[in-house]
Amino acid sequence: MTQVSLKNDWLATCPKGLELLLSEELIAMGAEGVKETVAAVYFNGSLELAYRACLWSRLANRILMPLHSFMLKESDDLYRECNDIPWEQHFSSVQSIAIDFIGTSRLVDNTMYGSQRVKDAIVDRIRRIEGERPSVDTKNPDIRIQVRQHKGRVSVSLDISGESLHRRGYRTGQGSAPIKENLAVALLLRAGWPAMAAEGGALLDPMCGSGTLLIEGAMMAADIAPGMLRERYGFDSWLQHDAELWQALIDESHQRRAIGLEELELDIRGYDANPRVLEYTTKNIENAGLDDHIRLAHKPIDQFGKPTAERGLLLTNPPYGARLGEMEELIPLYQKLGAVLQKNFHGWRAAVFTGNVDLGRETDLSPTKQYSLFNGTIPCKLLVFEDMTSKSAQIAARLSTPAPAQALTSGAKMVLNRLKKNRRKLESWYKKSDVSCYRLYDADIPEYAVAIDVYDHSIYVQEYVAPSTISEKVARERFGEIKQAVKEFSANFTGKIYYKERRRQKGDSQYEKLSEGSSDTFTVSEGKAIFEINLSDYLDTGLFLDHRPVRSMIGEMVKGKRFLNLFCYTAAASVQAALAGAASSLSIDMSNTYLDWAQRNYDLNSLRSSKHKLLRADCMKWLESEQEQYDIIFLDPPTFSNSKKMDSVLDIQRDHGDLIRSSMAKLAPGGTLIFSNNFRKFKMDELTLRQFNCQNITPQTLDMDFERNPRIHNVWLITRNQQFGGKQHV
């Protein structure tokens, strides 16, 4: 076996904006030749240093061992160059592997194809040498290999960290919009927490959510290795793994933790307005072994009094208000935070992490420092306040004085008239169809670009993003007129009015809560089904109204059949299928939020989990691994997703062909795939049209309330070409 040399080149990846902090951390560990690049840091050091970085880095995502780099001059170079790497020095045929292929180019324009060619090169070499080939396991491989191509150069590395290092192992539950653990550390460092902790200062988060800032702050102060709770690392099955060296580092970390906790006497506290979130937070703190050192309490921001500690750091990550319709709702929250800081936190340092600087200004405080960082793909600012003196004495008046009533403008009158007209036009249809949730208005007047839905006795207004040709001032004026019209229209409604803005979501932000305090949930009916609706907390409400006819169609197709619901959301289609007599169903989604919601829908409809199952999984990965077949499959993926839970970005126009082919492989003979998406410019790719019978049934899936917007979704019925004997042909 070829042993690792005394010193090697390594690459540590991190979120964009953390490169300087990561390089400083690695230098403190003894790294040499440190060089920063975008979202990564190159460094040189021994295997012990690489192990130490895996165990102790609070900022890195992954630690990679570069194996080979080459220019891609023709597509076959990818196979040849990767086949020349001595993989037998790193793993054997009895182990499993996974390939993370990142980046596209003219020669290799599909990451799945690139991953396949690299896999072929690796297994062919191992089989040539050992007579057997390693297996592929995309979920829990023994060895993970990263291949990245950029500007024609391909870099191949061994991932010795395995799962991203930001996943410490303590977070089993989360509140709204949780930040990643390594971003939390960056905020603590930029806010000066290490020096504050060394001086005995307190740490407080008034909107603590899942408690990440508190837990990471306590671990830093107690000298606890962030990787101690992780069960697996990428080097565990590596042939050159030095188990004795690793165990020595683990033993050292346990000793340092014991000493650190014994000496930890800091006041660390978290508060949140949502008691359900605090249940998750408590579990996370217990998992981290810090329940004796972090205190929690249920308390809204405006109930804060003077802290018991004379000095300390208040650090928090409030909602950002990235959507125009949401910002007005969040202004009071930031104003209350500013008022509390001004009244009770003189002598403290405060730091607010926000994706909306305009909301940060509502604190009526002047930041002494500002740091630019990213939360996922969202550009954000960390605003650090040393002086809690108010910039204006009028904040209390703004919080307590209601806005004066306004007469309807001509624009508001125009919108109001359209709402009344649409209501009259739809009234006969929705009463006859026994529909209580429907779309009333969908940018009928282009200058007033919102969608307005009726949910029983409540009204839900989603503001579309204004085009770049419309100034923010004009957009706000028009939105104000819409609110005037809706308020006037809703005089006979007993429920509330909710305002949100809809735009393409980034990462997990479609799962994030948009409001503070208690949730407004209620139930609605659709045929025999009952569904839970939430209009206060999330951008989506729990029920896609435009898919009402699709759910009805599924109910007509599934009696006695096996039903698969991919990207199931809150499983509304599965509920309808089960109530219509489906023999069984499996509903898959990555979001715990949505699956918990789906379970509540199942409970509302008395559905048995033995026949109708919910599964948390990446649908794309699941399709690659499972062999079970289904008679009816509903495939309704998002238009775009770069969720942190996924290894790759999903772009429905680019990736729909592969998704459909993978889904058709699970389709039983004679079965039907129902494929839907919401991309307005969607075009089915030619290969899929040749492979299968593809029928566009979109016009038949639009009820009367969505006829004004026929591009709201695309729906296709897809079956196998019988001329090919039911087999797929390329």
Asked whether the predicted pLDDT for residue 471 surpasses 70, the reply is: yes
Q: What SS3 string covers 435-486?
A: CCEEEEEECCCCCCCEEEEEECCEEEEEEECCCCCCCHHHHHHHHHHHHHHH
Residue 39: pLDDT band by 50, 70, 90 thresholds?
very high
Position 231 pLDDT exceeds 50: yes
DSSP 7: S
| β-bridge partners, 411 | none
Per-residue model confidence (pLDDT) at position 385: 96
* pLDDT (0 to 100) of residue 652: 92
For residue 362, what are the contacts with CB-CB under 8 A and spacing of at least 6?
331, 334, 335, 338
Residue 648 confidence (pLDDT): 67
Confidence grade of residue 514 (pLDDT, cut at 50, 70, 90): very low
Q: Maximum Cα–Cα distance for the chain, whole Å?
A: 83
Characterize the bridge pairing of strands 458-464 and 497-502.
Answer: parallel
Residues with Cβ within 8 Å of 634's Cβ and at least 6 positions away in sequence, in order, are 550, 554, 563, 564, 565, 566, 573, 674, 676
Q: How far is CA 282 from CA 174, 266, 293, 295, in A?
A: 10, 18, 12, 9
What is the per-residue pLDDT across 270-302, written as a single tens digit (0 to 9) for each? 999 888 889 999 999 999 999 999 999 999 888
Interhelix angle for 19-29 vs 181-190, to 10°? Answer: 90
Q: Residue 376 — pLDDT band, cuts 50, 70, 90?
A: confident
Could you tell me which residue, 321 or 72, shows the higher pLDDT?
A: 72
What was the pLDDT predicted at 197? 95
Whether 230 shows a pLDDT value over 90: the answer reads yes
| Predicted local distance difference test score (pLDDT) of residue 649 | 77
pLDDT at 325: 52
Whole-angstrom distance between the N-terminal and C-terminal Cα of the chain? 43
Q: Mean pLDDT across the chain, nearest whole number?
A: 89
Element holding 245 (H helix, E strand): helix 243-263
- The reported pLDDT for the residue numbered 433 is 85
CA distances from 340 to 204, 206, 626, 708 (A): 13, 10, 54, 48
What is the structure's pLDDT at 321? 67
Of 147, 150, 142, 139, nearest in space to 119 by CA: 147
500-511 pLDDT, tens digit per residue, is 865 444 444 443
Closest of 113, 104, 81, 106 to residue 150, by C-alpha: 104
pLDDT in tens, 151-176: 899 999 999 999 999 999 998 866 55
SS3 171: coil
pLDDT score for 604: 92
Residue 454 CB-density burial (10 A; 0-12 exposed, 13-18 middle, 19+ buried): buried
pLDDT in tens, 644-661: 555 567 889 999 999 999
Domains for the chain: give ranges and CATH numbers. Answer: 8-159 (3.30.2130.30), 181-219+264-400 (3.40.50.150), 404-503 (3.30.750.80), 530-730 (3.40.50.150)
CB-based contact 312:199 (threshold 8 Å):
no
